[in-house]
Amino acid sequence: MTEATLQPATPSAAMIRTLGLVATVCGVLIVTAYEGTLDAVNANKKLALERAVFKVIPGAAKVDEYFATPAGIQPAATGTPEGGVKFYAAYDQAGTLKGIAAEGAGKGYADTVRILYAYDPARQVVTGFGVVAMRETPGIGDKIYTDPAFLKNFEALDVKLSADLKSLANAVKVVKHGSKQNAWEIDAIAGATVTSKAVGRGINDSAQKLLPLLVPNLEKLNAAPQSRVSAFPPIAKGGEGGFEAAPTPSSTQNPPQPPFTKGGSDLASPRQEASS
């Protein structure tokens, strides 16, 4: 190689030694930072998730994270199952199920709009939603969480399942402003139709996938909250819904996995800068 003949100044051994030294120093720094901040980061994420869920499910006091799979539901701490749909079960102080929250996403005007919506299993309706992340035009797209008439759509949005429990009886549909007739329709905001549709599509896509898996197993959630309300110390398997740094190395590795990090960190607040 020409480079080698042009610059014979430093022997390879010295280069490798230096690179090794630098790599060691850097490795130590990174691992120290990672270990040092892990607890705080996880506590932050847990707090952010709780704040987001409590906002859409008033009265909730604790949140557990689950996956709904064709084989039933399982706590998220046991790992990400193939084809599982993530959802959050919210319980009140006494440990009764207050509602279910799940994430949905729809293509908006500028970019994907990601939302967290609340599902009331008793009435089979969506009872509210919060924005997780969006880049819609300020002053237009952000009407989806400021416009009272639009938010009224989500007091009891019908998402009940069809008789065979395979899909929603009526798909959630966003209709033109002022033409809402049924409980499963969403009255779009005039002038922000695309963003309204993103919300509707986000709820519909997510509910179509999640609810058929979830509803047949609702009993289990009611009966067995993996709750801290009970006096039992949580077992490593599911106790904290995966948020606390468990002592075993294998489970401390869990948090920064991409799906998790994303869901967790994005939940912090509906993008401040978009609204401000």
Partner 1 sequence: MSESLSQIFIGTLLANNFVLAMFLGLCPFLGVSARLNTALPMGAATTFVMLVASLCAFGLNWLVTTFHLEFLRLISYIVIIASAVQLVEMVLKKYSPALFRALGIYLPLITTNCAVLGVALFQTAREYSFTQSLTFAAAGGAGFTLALLLMAGLRERLNLASVPNVVQGTALSLMLAGLLSLGFMGFAGLGAGE
Partner 2 sequence: MIPGQKQLTNMEELLEGIWKQNPVFVMVLGMCPVLAVSVSAMNAISMGLATTFVLVGSTLLVSLLRSVIPKEVRIATYIVIIATFVTVVDYLIQAISLAVYDALGAFIQLIVVNCIILGRAEAHASKNPPLRSVLNALGMGAGFTLGLFALGAVREILGAGKLFGVALFGPDFQPWVVMVLPPGGFFVLGSWLLLFNWLNSRKTDAAQAKPVEGHAHV
Which of partner 1, partner 2, none has residue 80 at its interface (CB below 5 to 8 Å by kind)? none
Among 194, 210, 211, 267, binds partner 1 (CB under 8 A): 194
Q: Which is nearer to partner 2, 219 or 273 (CB)?
A: 273
Using CB under 8 A as the binding rule, whether residue 253 contacts partner 2 is answered as no
| Token pair recorded at residue 134 | 């969006």
Using CB under 8 A as the binding rule, whether residue 259 contacts partner 1 is answered as yes
| β-pair type (72-75, 85-91) | unpaired
Restricting to residues 86-125, name those near partner 1 by CB under 8 A.
105, 107-112
- Which range binds partner 2 by CB under 8 A, 27-35, 53-61, 68-76, 153-161? 27-35
Which of partner 2, partner 1, none has residue 198 at its interface (CB below 5 to 8 Å by kind)? partner 1
Q: Which is nearer to partner 1, 198 or 221 (CB)?
A: 198
Using CB under 8 A as the binding rule, whether residue 24 contacts partner 2 is answered as no
Using CB under 8 A as the binding rule, whether residue 111 contacts partner 2 is answered as no
Q: Considering the complex, what minimum distance in angstroms separates the CB of residue 220 from partner 2?
A: 31
Which of partner 2, partner 1, none has residue 108 at its interface (CB below 5 to 8 Å by kind)? partner 1
Is there a contact between 193 and 187 (Cβ–Cβ < 8 Å)?
A: no
Measured CA to CA in angstroms, residue 176 lies from 106, 191, 226 at distances of: 18, 10, 43
In the complex, which residues of this chain contact partner 1 (CB under 8 A)? 1, 26, 30-31, 33-34, 105, 107-112, 137, 194, 197-198, 250, 253-254, 256-259, 261-262
In the complex, which residues of this chain contact partner 2 (CB under 8 A)? 3, 7, 9-10, 14-15, 18-19, 21-23, 25-26, 29-30, 33-34, 36-37, 40-41, 44-45, 48, 133, 137-139, 265-266, 268-269, 271-273, 276
